[in-house]
Amino acid sequence: MKYEKGTFTTVPNMSALKGKNAILQVIYMWLCFHADKKGTCFPSQTTIANACGIGITSLNKFMKELEDLNLLKREIRNIKGSKEKDTTIYHIGTSCGEVGTSCGEVGTSCGEGEVLRQAKEGTSSGEERTKPNELKPIKLKESDFDLFYSAYPIHTSKLAAQKAFAKVKVDVQVLIKAIEVQKKDRKKKEESGVWLPRWKGPAPWLNQGCWEDEIEVIEISTEESEKQEFIKLGMSRYFIKHGNEKTEEMINKYGIQ
């Protein structure tokens, strides 16, 4: 077999993966492929999911299992004041010790790992070899639960919410995105005069899988929409926005607000 630089990758902690789900192992190997020498990478979920031939939901489920095995840690990089989207940084874990000490490379025995490492890094057995980098567990500044809880519109029953969150096998960014979509939809409907029940507490929202709720589209007539805007703004603010003629028309229809 011809070894070419960039065609093989080191996979640490192989012994910890033995007997685990095949897709889980493939996800881990693709993360290792993207990782730098410190075991850090930040490919998009779509990139990893497409490489493994699975969906985003399944990907998040298996990544959670990797975290439970201490083989992976995820860190959300927030760029304040920037238009860039938040990035998830992945850190390959070290439940079996140093990188390369469990079993060497994908598709090889432990004895072949050093040969492939040289092929990947462009070194030979006669050249000085670099020592494997020891990866230390990453302590996140803000936990996934804190990210979820701060994004949720109401803050009640925090302890119950923590227990419910621990049972959810979904990436926190999926939950946050669903919350933002539901917030925008709710605001739009309230502005149109649609009555809505109050937000559920964070624990019931998680327990009932509300992040998967479909957005209900409610058709509102133009006349009804204008009426609700007139009632909400009142005559003075409506006049400033739409002028005298339109305001008089609304007063004739609905009276002075």
- Specify whether 206 is located in the same domain as 228: no
Q: Based on the fold, state whether residues 241 and 155 are members of the same structural domain.
A: no
Domain at 26, CATH number: 1.10.10.10
Residue 234 confidence class, pLDDT cut points 50, 70, 90:
confident
The reply to whether 23 and 88 lie within a common domain is yes
Look up residue 98 and give its two tokens.
């140093």
Domain co-membership, 49 together with 92: yes
Q: State the residue range of the domain holding 149.
A: 144-212
For residues 71 and 92, give the distance between their C-alpha atoms in angstroms, rounded to a whole number. 6
Q: Does the global pTM surpass 0.75?
A: no
- pLDDT tens per residue across span 47-103: 988 988 898 898 888 888 888 888 888 887 765 665 556 678 888 875 433 333 333
- Of 72 and 257, the structure prediction assigns the larger pLDDT to 72
Both 18 and 117 in one domain: the answer is yes
Which comes out higher in pLDDT, residue 91 or 224? 91
Residue type, 199: W
Q: Residue 181 contacts by C-beta under 8 Å, 6 or more apart in sequence?
A: 215
Residues 205 and 237 occupy one common structural domain? no
Q: What percent of the chain clears pLDDT 90, i.e. is strictly above it?
A: 21
Task: For residue 151, give the H/E element and its range.
Answer: helix 144-151
Asked if residue 153 and residue 94 are part of one domain, the reply reads: no
Count: domains in the chain: 3
In a domain, 130, yes or no: no
CB 35 within 8 Å of CB 43: no
pLDDT on residue 85? 60
86 and 163 inside one domain: no
Residues 28 and 117 in one domain: yes
* Mean pLDDT, residues 190-206 taken together: 86
